[in-house]
Amino acid sequence: MPGPGNGPQPDAHEMYTPQARVDPYPVYARLRREAPVHLIRDPNGIEHWLVTRYEDARAALADNRLSRDPQHAWEALRRSGLYPEGGEGSEPHLLNSDPPDHTRMRKLVAKAFTPRRVEAMRPRIQQITDALIDAVAPHGTADLIPALAFPLPITVICELLGVPVEDRADFRVWSTAALTPTYTEGSTMPPHEANRLLREYFTALVTERRRALRAAGDDTETQPDLLSALIVASTEDGRLTEQELISTAGLLLVAGHETTVNLIGNGLLALLKDRRQLELLRSRPELLPQAVEEFLRYDGPVERAMLRVATEDVEIGGVLVPKGAIVTVGVASAHRDPARYPEPDRLDITRVDRSHLGFGHGIHFCVGAPVSRMEGQIAVGTVLRRLPDLALDERAGPLCWRPTGVLRGLEALPVRFTPVAPAGR
């Protein structure tokens, strides 16, 4: 069986340098050529096989021999700081489970997270976006991460779940900590502590919401929010434990805004760096759905998929990955694979290929993808429509990227534009 690749091997820590955080694509290009399935060691000493080519990545995401259950690699995950000592099974939700548990939980979430409930949010998403743009439009400068990219999706998911929006500052701290590796300089809260705080929050909220629920037997569609609908769906079918319900609520909150923050920020940055694409989209807003799909491919919010564990020996790209090994799918690398995408390093909002892996693939495909797509289209379209002469504000200095191991997103996106009055004035 072939080994992990021929030719010179990249340094084990190359993926974790400041340079790779800013621009990981040259490293991924080398790995695709030289060692497309490569054994990487992170700064915590955790070894994992990084899959970099599109076809291998797509296959790995759908391979049921690669488990998402963290208990298969418990010791390594505990040492990484993701879970505390004795915390096995503390986060039983969709992303941390395999069939049949995953099938059962996803069916219940889908029963509550219906297309009708999602589509009903469209006018409200536009209203929130307009209010956020109103706040910055007269000033001529803004940082679009705290001004738009963060408050829009966190407000939407809070309202969708029925979570008090005034708690969003805490959510931002907790979700950032949950996604920040412990080896990151300046990290102040271990991921397992952030997850504990989220669990405590939703334990209290679920208890409170149950008291306020409508009469038993109401259809999930009639519930005032997603959390209530999930409680009813769980109660009706009797197949979701209290721990699963609480963990799933926390997952929906974090996943429901973190990826969309990055989708909006990264997408706007890609346009600001390519004026022809920006002007094309401004002149042809009907291209917004295609543009969002291209943002997800070109510099998407997910750099590397959540880790998986081989439950038996698995061959990936001609490499034997042994049973018990951790596997990470390099989504960002797969999206720049020239074997799959013509001119992969070029932004092209007219690209019609929607086969990207930005929302995953297989049974773990993101249940919130329709909401994220809608928010991305509305946010980007509104910015281009309402902020004339939009450009990067280079006076703010170099751009910085958040130090998360899974997601890829900006800490700030400073822009300048011609000041305009708020809408309706």
User: pLDDT tens-digit profile of 209-254?
Assistant: 888 775 445 566 677 788 888 888 777 655 778 888 888 888 888 8
pLDDT tops 50 at residue 1:
no
Model confidence at 204, pLDDT cuts 50, 70, 90, reads: very high
Bridge-based pairing of strands 314-316 and 414-416 is unpaired
Angle 105-264-408 from CA coordinates, rounded to 5°: 70
Tokens of 99: 């069939």
Q: How many CB atoms lie within 10 A of CB 146?
A: 14
Q: What are the angstrom distances between the C-alpha of 5 and each of 132, 207, 310? A: 49, 53, 19
pLDDT tops 60 at residue 148:
yes
CATH number of 14-416: 1.10.630.10
pLDDT score for 88: 53
pLDDT score for 355: 93
pLDDT score for 6: 41
Model confidence at 12, pLDDT cuts 50, 70, 90, reads: low
pLDDT score for 262: 96
CB 76 within 8 Å of CB 326: yes
pLDDT tops 50 at residue 311:
yes
Percent residues over pLDDT 70 in the chain: 89
Model confidence at 123, pLDDT cuts 50, 70, 90, reads: very high
Q: What residues contact 118, with CB distance under 8 A and at least 6 apart?
A: 370, 371, 374
Q: What are 141's strand-pairing partners? A: 416
Q: What are 51's strand-pairing partners? A: 37, 329
pLDDT tops 70 at residue 16:
yes
Q: What is the mean pLDDT of the chain?
A: 88
Tokens of 3: 């080994």
48, containing H or E segment: strand 47-51
pLDDT score for 81: 62
Q: What residues contact 240, with CB distance under 8 A and at least 6 apart?
A: 104, 105, 108, 230, 233, 234, 248
| Least confident among 91-100, 262-271, 289-298, 333-342 | 91-100
pLDDT score for 163: 87
CA end-to-end distance (rounded Å), the chain: 69
pLDDT tops 60 at residue 7:
no
The domain ranges of the chain are 14-416
Three-class DSSP labels, 281-306:
HHHCHHHHHHHHHHHHHHCCCECCCC
pLDDT tops 80 at residue 82:
no
Give the C-alpha separation, 248 to 43, whole Å: 30
Q: What residues contact 236, with CB distance under 8 A and at least 6 apart?
A: 217, 220
pTM tops 0.85, yes or no: yes
- How far is Cα of residue 347 from the mean position of the Cα atoms in its chain? 20
pLDDT score for 171: 87
More confident residue, 7 or 400: 400
pLDDT tops 70 at residue 2:
no
pLDDT tops 80 at residue 42:
yes
pLDDT score for 221: 63
User: pLDDT tens-digit profile of 53-81?
Assistant: 999 999 999 999 999 988 887 777 666 66
Q: What are 393's strand-pairing partners? A: none
CB 241 within 8 Å of CB 92: yes
Q: What are the angstrom distances between the C-alpha of 181 and each of 176, 188, 306? A: 10, 11, 13
Model confidence at 425, pLDDT cuts 50, 70, 90, reads: low
CB 380 within 8 Å of CB 347: no
Amino acid at 62: A
Mean pLDDT of 271-288: 97
| Least confident among 14-23, 295-304, 385-394 | 14-23
